Structure 1
Amino acid sequence: MTGRGDGKAGAAGGPARHVPVLLGEVREALALKPGGVYLDGTFGAGGYARAILDSHPDTRLVAVDRDPDAIRAGGAMVETYGGRLDLVPGRFGDLDGIVEARGLLGALDGVVLDIGVSSMQIDEAARGFSFRFEGPLDMRMEQAGRSAADIVNRAPEAELADIFYHYGEERRARAVARAVIEQRRRAPILTTRELADLVASLVRAEPNGPHPATRVFQALRIAVNDELGELVRALSAAERALRPGGRLVVVTFHSLEDRIVKQFLAGRTGRVARGSRHLPSADAMQAPSFTAVMRGPVLPSDAETAANPRARSAKLRAGERTGAPPQSDMTALEALAALPRTAEPRGGRR
């Protein structure tokens, strides 16, 4: 869960509700320069976007967001920065097509991605992302398509268990899935409170730990919005969009997201041995398309996590584009190859 406000003014020009995570570290990793052209794939409330545009008076930015609310709220910021900010409705997985339409493919000086749901979405009860508020079980970033309620009330038990286990790392995934099936036979599960209470009746709350429904809600959100698939597509798209010397900077908040970014950069910098089960062996034979910017991830400081608890699970990874041609796409299946199978009951039966 991220906060993408800028601490001074939100996208609509008023007070921001949250502070962007690892802001200083993101600016440093992007190596912002005069006249640079950048892309923010997760505009949110404009926190990273404002920092990039304020770095130099001639910096240009293409900002992308799939949430119609973010696009509408960002209108005031577009006016503030004149022609330097191009705010585009869309998915960051399509960022190469977005910049190609603007004549910028292979010309970007930096791409930043802040993966996950924004604080504004979490804090709006009507969006249905959070168990903290009573609201419809929705979770759709684009406010269109299949909702969390659709998955909960229509998906087979095995699919639900896989979603809860893989995307939420919920150890009691099978028990929760069975309980959902039993509950929906009596009546549909339509609100966040209904689902949260059901999960809390099965998953033990740990002292000073998160709410028992945290992992299940996270899993549904990832499934509804195809967040891991979008991340995989965005990494390959950024590879095509960046110029030599351009920087890719990604902030993640979930172990699966971080694993994908780590594997991508390891493969593209030549740190994955030939024949790796995570990346095709053909890719391992190509010239590295990125060089490492840092060793390992950058984590938030103790002071930042104390001031903004939502930052506690954040990790930043970055790479610098070389002059080598882009490598073949890393598919979602390849990226997630290391995921464990859904836990099976004793006796080996599903």
Structure 2
Amino acid sequence: MEFRHASVMLEESLRFLAPRSGGIYVDGTLGGGGHAERILADTAPDGRLIAFDKDPDALSAAGQRLSPFGSRVRLVHGDFAVLSSALAEMGIDGIDGIMLDLGVSSHQLDSGERGFSFQQDAPLDMRMDTTKGVTAADIVNNESREELIRIIREYGEERWASRIASAIVRARETLPVTSTLQLAELVKGAIPRPAWEDRIHPATRTFQGLRIAVNDELGSIRRGLPAAMQLLNRGGRAVVISFHSLEDRIVKDTFRSFTGRCTCPRDLPVCVCGQSAAVRILTAKPVRAGEDEIAANPRARSARLRAAEKL
């Protein structure tokens, strides 16, 4: 299946990133290569891009798309959380910008065999990196009821997590839960019919929670974004697009942690923490996609863009 991923808020992203020739940039979530292609075009003739992705399909497809840029682009199979060590191995100790388009790609959602969606029956996988790691089926069939509740409630923001976890545990005692539709039906049966939301499938939040757990998505942001902020050269920028409140909260808090806000106790008469601002936040509030883009790509509706500049 051809790799497809619509680059959300492409123009807004490039406006905040402000790439320039001669700079070194990182695309931590390469996907289909849309943002990467524009970064390389805007940094001609000698700008460099290091692009990370956990998905081998993404790397293969984007590699072909970006091949005209030759040695100016370097692809890395891996989580952007390891960018510090990866860049160090390349002899790079500073970058001029980083782009992160978080979450799952259109290709991953639309490829039934990947198990990210309940639109068709498929193995319950959900791994972005199909070469390693536990699957959603591993978690569903092996974790305790308490851990399932935590994953579904914390990562899926699902208020019916306890009932859903109980239904999963009861079902797996008879037959392992191994397919997307099997799990989706369990979730539907666990949530009272009057509580179903109008706009989303009852299993949406549970699938989100499992996907985040399988791929350690929030952990990647917590490790990778602060590392990227440290690596930014003066005037370098970080642009991050998130798709739900859990991601957005980490991005907002990470940016704020670099603004030099005093961390001393409130009852201390004089500041002694010595905090000084390292970045300037460029987006007082998250930027949202426009109506035309949402009409063309409904998945852009939940996108939120934040940006910061290194001082």
Same fold (TM over 0.5): yes
Write 1 or 2 for the structure with the bigger share of helix. Answer: 2
| Alignment of 1:63 onto 2:34 | no
Aligned residue in 2 for 1:167: 155
Number of the residue aligned with 2:7:
20
2:51 counterpart SS class: strand
CA distance in structure 1 between the partners assigned to 2:161 and 2:240 by the alignment: 29
1:251 aligns with 2:251: no
On the 8 A contact 1:266/1:272 being kept in 2, the answer is: no
Q: Deviations over 1:178-221 (max 9, x none)?
A: 00000000100000000001111222464641111000000000
Q: 1:114 to 1:284 in 2, by over 3 A?
A: farther
Q: Which residue of 2 aligns with 1:310?
A: 299
CA spacing shift, 1:121–1:283, aligned 2, 3 Å: farther
The answer for the alignment partner of 2:164 in structure 1 is 176
Deviation at 1:74, TM superposition (A): 2.5
Q: In structure 2, what is the equivalent of residue 217 of structure 1?
A: 207
Structure 1 residues 256, 84: closer, same or farther in 2, change over 3 A?
Answer: same
> In structure 1, how many angstroms separate the alpha carbons of the residues matched to 2:146 and 2:57?
34
Q: In structure 2, the residue corresponding to 1:152 is in which secondary structure? A: helix
Question: Which amino acid counterpart does residue 25 of structure 1 have in structure 2?
Answer: E
1:128 aligns with 2:115: yes
Q: Distance in 2 between matches of 1:309 and 1:146?
A: 30
Extract unaligned runs of 5+ from structure 1: 1-11, 277-281, 323-350
Structure 2's unaligned 5+ residue stretches are: none
| Matched position secondary structure for 1:73 | helix
Identity %: 47
Instruction: Specify which of 140, 145, 148 is matched with residue 133 of structure 2.
Output: 145
> Structure 1 residue 42 and structure 2 residue 32: aligned?
no
**Cα shift at 1:105:** 1.6
- The answer as to whether partners of 2:37 and 2:66 remain within 8 angstroms in 1 is no
Checking the alignment, whether the CA contact within 8 Å between 1:127 and 1:136 is kept in structure 2 is yes
Q: Deviations over 1:246-301 (max 9, x none)?
A: 0011100010110011111112113475459xxxxx99642222111121111111
Change (3 A) 1:28 1:209: same
Secondary structure of the structure 1 residue equivalent to 2:288: coil
What is the Cα deviation at residue 73 of structure 1?
2.0
SS at match of 1:224: helix
> Counterpart of 2:222?
232
> Alignment partner of 1:38: what SS?
strand
| Deviation (angstroms), 1:125 | 1.0
Alpha carbons of structure 1 residues 95 and 187: separation in structure 2 relative to 1, 3 Å: same
- Normalising by structure 2, report the TM-score: 0.92
Equivalent AA in structure 1 for residue 69 of structure 2? Y
Structure 1 segment 106-125 matched on structure 2, within 5 A = 106=94, 108-125=95-112
| CA distance in 1: counterparts of 2:157 and 2:182, whole angstroms | 21
2:279 maps to which of 274, 277, 290: 290
* Equivalent residue number for residue 331 of structure 1: none
1:347 is aligned to: none
SS of equivalent to 1:61: strand
The root-mean-square deviation of aligned C-alpha atoms, in Å, is 2.0
Residue pair 2:263, 2:275 contacting (<8 A) in 1 also? no
1:107-160 Cα offsets, whole Å, 9 max, x none, are x11001111111111111111111112100001111111110000001000000
Normalised by the length of structure 1, the TM-score is: 0.82
Q: Is the 8 A contact 2:121 2:181 kept in 1?
A: yes
**Kept after mapping to 1: 8 A contact 2:187/2:202:** yes
Letter of the structure 2 residue corresponding to residue 253 of structure 1: F
